[in-house]
Amino acid sequence: MTTEPVISLRGVRAELGSRPVLRGIDLTVRRGEVVALLGANGSGKSTAVRSVIGQVPVSAGEIELFGTPRHRFRDWARVGYVPQRTTASGGVPATVTEVVSSGRLSRTRFGLFRRADHEAVRHALDLVGMADRAKDSVDALSGGQHQRVLIARALAAVPELLIMDEPMAGVDLASQGILAETLKGQVAEGATVLLVLHELGPLEPLIDRAVVLRDGCVLHDGPPPKAVGQHALPGHDHVHPHAPAGTEPIRTGLLS
């Protein structure tokens, strides 16, 4: 039962302009797994994730979501997507509740909200610890709080699969902890998770498998590199908001 693939990519190629970004990627995420997609800037990890949700045209290969070819997949309420934070801002003020409510639309008929929908939105805000800011403008939030709102938006539809693009980028320590706890809760309830990460950070204990990309190819697919192993990746910037004092950095990286 637990081996049913939720995401399956076979030989996926994609180009941005004329530059190949993905050169034949194989990736399978099975039900209940937490998979981290790692790699340096420009390695194709964001493109890979965006190809899964149909935001990047694929020139070759097959993508399946829940066993359905992606171009025929319509059951989007089963997928919760958390984009990189910068993409989500409008020119008009909007409250936290209004933004999170967008995530519930996939479960409504013609966008009509029933009581259960309002409750789902409230519950999603509770999960990320933002219920007390429900009526505040999203523009008044910090980077970390904003990220929590985007995760609540994805959770509002109660998805089975969570796809997150760099959820920890620009997030303060307090929010990182809350995000890790939220994700832990989701995983405990059986959610499948695919994350793009720059480094494992506080999410490390949750991750079952790491897939490392370099130049659009899968370099490693297996247990997550130990502690700070991915530091050896080219282009990795050394930022350590989470390192507990006294931790011995491991210098032998995955690629060395």
Partner 1 sequence: MDILDYAFMQRALLAAVLVGITAPAVGIYLVQRRQALMGDGIGHVAMTGVGLGFLLSWSPVWMATLVSVLGAVFMELVRWYAKTRGDIALAMLFYGGMAGGVMFINLAPGGSTTNLSSFLFGSLSTVSESDVTAICLLAAFVVLITVGLRRQLFAVSQDEEFARVTGLPVRFLNLLTAITAAVTVSVAMRVVGLLLVSALMVVPVAAAQQLTRSFAATFAIAVAIGVSVTIGGTVTSYYQDVPPGATIVLLTIAAFIALTALATPLARRRARALAAAQPGGDPAECAIPAGRESGDPAGA
Interaction site with partner 1 (CB under 8 A) = 53-55, 74-77, 79, 81, 83, 85-95, 98-99, 101-103, 105-106, 108, 111, 113, 135-146, 153, 157, 170, 172-174
Nearest approach in angstroms of CB 162 to partner 1 is 12
User: Are 7 and 65 within 8 A, CB to CB?
Assistant: yes
Nearest approach in angstroms of CB 201 to partner 1 is 16
Residue located via tokens 């610890």: 129
Q: Which is nearer to partner 1, 90 or 222 (CB)?
A: 90
Q: Which is nearer to partner 1, 103 or 202 (CB)?
A: 103
What is the largest distance, in Å, between two alpha-carbon atoms of the chain? 55
* Environment class of 86 (CB within 10 Å of its CB; exposed 0-12, middle 13-18, buried 19+): exposed
**CA-CA distance, 150 to 154, in Å (whole number)?**
6
Nearest approach in angstroms of CB 66 to partner 1 is 13
Q: Which is nearer to partner 1, 4 or 132 (CB)?
A: 132
Q: Which is nearer to partner 1, 138 or 212 (CB)?
A: 138
Q: Which is nearer to partner 1, 83 or 224 (CB)?
A: 83
Nearest approach in angstroms of CB 220 to partner 1 is 27
Nearest approach in angstroms of CB 165 to partner 1 is 10
Q: What is the dihedral of CA 165, 145, 130, 108, to 10 degrees?
A: -40
**CA-CA distance, 195 to 115, in Å (whole number)?**
31
Nearest approach in angstroms of CB 29 to partner 1 is 16
* Environment class of 65 (CB within 10 Å of its CB; exposed 0-12, middle 13-18, buried 19+): buried
Nearest approach in angstroms of CB 88 to partner 1 is 4
**CA-CA distance, 221 to 14, in Å (whole number)?**
20
* Environment class of 102 (CB within 10 Å of its CB; exposed 0-12, middle 13-18, buried 19+): middle
**CA-CA distance, 60 to 6, in Å (whole number)?**
20
Tokens of 226: 């130990």
Q: Which is nearer to partner 1, 53 or 187 (CB)?
A: 53
Encode burial over 172-201: b for 16+ CB neighbours within 10 A, e otherwise.
Answer: eeebbebbbebbeebbeeebbbbbbbbbbb
